[in-house]
Amino acid sequence: MDKTIEEMRRGSAIVVLSCAMAALVWLAPVSAFPNTSKGEIVAKAIDAVIIPLVDLVGKMPLIIALGVVAALGAGYALGLRLPRLSAPAFPSLPEFTAPEETIDVPAAPLARRRGLTAIAELRDVEAVSTAPRKPQTITLEGQMRAVMGDDFELTDDIADRAMSLAAEWERRGTPHGKRVDPIAIIRKPREKDRDWSKDRSWFGGLPRLDGQAWPRGKDGVPLPFVAQLDLAEIAAANPDTPLPKAGSLAFFINTGAVLYVPPGDHSPTPGPDDLPHAYEECHYPLPERPSPVTQPLFPFWPVEPVRLRMPDDLPPMDEDGENAEAIEAAQSGALTAIVPRRKYFFSASSSQMEAIAGADTVWWYCADLALRQLQAALDYVPRAIAGREKSIADGQAYQARLRAAPELDEEALANSRSWEEVNRAAIPKLESEGRGLAEFIEHFAGFVAGRDPWEVMTQEEIAVLTEVLATAKRDFESACNYVVSSRLGDLRDAAIRRMITGDSHAAGALPDAVLSPINEQYRLPTSWQHQMFGLGGCRQYALYDHLCDHLLLQIVYDHLPEFRFGDMGLYQFWISPENLAAGRWDKVELTFECG
C-alpha cells in the first residue's frame, strides 16, 4: 500500500511524542521551572503521571517501551507495516470512471468521507452496476455497494478518485452551479476628512447585530469580534457568490461563531461586561487578563471586497501540490494588480520610512503608553512574588518525596535546594523593585498628566521619555522586562497605528507624509490575504481537511489592525456546500493554524 501524507504525519507524531515522554522519564524526578505556564504544566504532568510510573516500574523499562513505540512509529511513517498472518483475498473491482477534470489531493478524513458520500449519491458518476439504488445505509462501504453492487470493495484508488471528484465539486459545483472566484478583503485607505464610522464592512470595533445576543463559547465567555461584512457589497464585487445578496455576516473567533444580520441601519452592539480584552498594545492579541495596556476591542478599520478573477484555464489542484502553488500564484497576481503587496511589517524606523518627513515625530501618546506599561509592570509584581512562593512550596514538597524514596537522589535534591534559594533571593528583589517602581511611576505620571495624546513632544520632552525607558530597564529589570518597551520606535509605531484607526482628531495629527505611504503600500498583510472563497492559506492540515468546504472567510496575521495571531497565524471559517445553500451559519467551523 502506498504511503499517504496522513500516515507519515501520524507516524512522525508517534515518534515525537514517544521521544518526549522518554525524555521526561529519563529526567524524572526534576525540578520544573516555575516562572512560566509551561513550567507549571510540565511540573503537574511529572507529579501526576511520570513519577508514579517511575515508582511503579522504574525508569529503564519505561524508556525501553517508549523506544519500541518510537521505532514502530518511525516504521509507520516510512511505510513499513507488521506482517499479517494471512492476506485476505479481494475480488476483482468494478471499473471506476472519474470525470475528465478532477482534483487529486492528499488524503484527508473529512474530504474522503464527503467524497465517498458524493459517489454514493451518484450526482455525476455513471454507475457501473445496474442494481437499483437502495436507501442510504449506515456505513460508507454500504453506500458504495448500494450503487455499485454487492461485490464492491473499497480501495484507496477509489477513495482518492472520490476525493478528487468532491474537491472538483467544491470548486465548481456550488449551490448555484458556478465556480466562485476568491474575494480579497482589503483594508481601506484612511482619509482624514471622511467619517468612516458608518462604513458597511469593517474589521474590529463593535458589531451591529440588530438585537441578537453577543455569541459566547461553550465556557460561557463572550467571543472576540473580528469582522462584519456587508453581503450587498460582496455581491457587488462578485455577483457569482452563493451568499445572500442582502444583510451582513458577523464573525467571531476563539471557538468561533458567525451570525447573519438582516439588512438595515443598525446601531453598534455594546460588548458584554465580561468580554475579554482583544489585544495588548505593542504585544499580542487575546491576553489572559486585562491590564493598563490592553484594549477591549480590535481597532475599527473599514474594508472593501475585491474580486480576484481567476483564469478560465487554471488547472485543478493535484496530489503533489504543484497546481496548488499555481492557484495561489494566480490569486496573488490578481491581487497585486489591484493593490501593491509588501514583504515587511510597518515600522516608522524602517529604511523605507526613515527619510520621510515626520516619521521620527513623537507624540504624547507615546509617553502615555509608556506610563501604562510601567503601571502594568507594577501590577505584575504581586503575581511574580506569588509565583516564586508557590515554586518554593512545590520544591519543598518535591524534596520531601525525594527524601522518602528508597534511594535518595542526591543530585536532584541539591538542584532543588539550589533552585529554592534562587526563588528566595528573588522575592526581596521584586519587593524592593515594586516599592521603587511605584514611586517612579508617581513622578512620571505628573510629567504626563493633562497632555493631549496627539500633541507633538519637544526634543527636551523626548529626552525625558527616553531616559524613563532606560531607567525602567536598568533599575526595575525584573518587573519591567518584556512589559515596558525598550525602544522609543515601538511606542511611536503604536501611536501611528492608533492614529490611523482613531477619531478625526487622532487621524488629523498624523503627518500626510507618513499617512500616504501607509495608504499606498500597507493595506494588505505580508503573507496570505484576508479573503472569502478560493484557495486558503495552509500552515498545517486545515486546508486538506476542508477540501470539500467553502472558505467563508480567512483572517490572517496582520499587525496594523493588531491581528497578531500566533506565529503568522490564520483563522479560517469553513462551511459545507449544503449548509451554505441552506444558510446554516451555525454550522460554520473555525480553524486556527500558525507556524
Q: Is the dihedral of CA 50, 56, 60, 65 positive or negative?
A: negative
CATH, domain range 183-344+525-593 = 2.30.320
Whose grid coordinates read 495561489? Answer: 328
Given a contact cutoff of 8 angstroms between Cβ atoms, the answer to whether 370 and 469 are in contact is yes
CA dist list (Å): 332 to 14, 129, 324, 518, 534 = 36, 45, 12, 20, 11
Whose grid coordinates read 503575581? Answer: 383
Cell of 483: 512589559
- Name residue 271's amino acid: G
d(CA 252, CA 276): 13
Three-state DSSP state, 90: coil
Given a contact cutoff of 8 angstroms between Cβ atoms, the answer to whether 570 and 593 are in contact is yes
- Global pTM value: 0.71
d(CA 117, CA 140): 7
Given a contact cutoff of 8 angstroms between Cβ atoms, the answer to whether 369 and 468 are in contact is no
Given a contact cutoff of 8 angstroms between Cβ atoms, the answer to whether 562 and 285 are in contact is yes
Cell of 396: 519543598
Nearest CA to 528 out of 563, 499, 502, 493 is that of: 563
d(CA 212, CA 247): 14
Given a contact cutoff of 8 angstroms between Cβ atoms, the answer to whether 140 and 113 are in contact is yes
Distance of CA 361 to the CA centre of its chain: 33
Given a contact cutoff of 8 angstroms between Cβ atoms, the answer to whether 317 and 167 are in contact is yes
Q: Which residues contact 231 (CB under 8 A, 6 or more apart)?
A: 243, 244, 245, 246, 247, 248, 249
CA dist list (Å): 528 to 155, 190, 379 = 36, 22, 37
Dihedral angle over CA of 318, 319, 321, 322, nearest 10 = -50
Given a contact cutoff of 8 angstroms between Cβ atoms, the answer to whether 227 and 521 are in contact is no
Three-state DSSP state, 101: coil
Given a contact cutoff of 8 angstroms between Cβ atoms, the answer to whether 36 and 10 are in contact is no
Q: Give, for all 595 residues of the chain, the pLDDT tens digit.
A: 444 556 666 667 777 777 777 776 666 654 433 444 445 666 666 666 666 666 666 677 767 777 777 777 777 666 565 444 333 333 333 333 433 434 343 334 444 455 555 554 433 433 443 334 333 333 555 555 655 566 666 666 666 666 555 555 444 444 444 568 899 999 999 999 888 999 999 999 999 999 999 999 999 999 999 999 999 999 999 998 899 999 999 999 999 999 999 999 999 999 999 999 999 998 889 998 999 999 999 999 999 999 998 887 777 665 455 677 778 888 888 888 888 877 778 877 776 666 676 678 899 999 999 999 999 999 999 999 999 999 999 999 999 999 998 988 999 999 999 999 999 999 999 999 999 999 999 999 999 999 999 999 999 999 999 999 999 999 999 999 889 998 999 999 999 999 999 999 999 999 998 899 889 889 999 888 999 998 888 888 888 788 778 899 999 999 899 999 988 889 999 998 889 989 999 999 999 998 7
Q: Report the residue count for the chain.
A: 595
Nearest CA to 291 out of 366, 384, 382, 376 is that of: 376
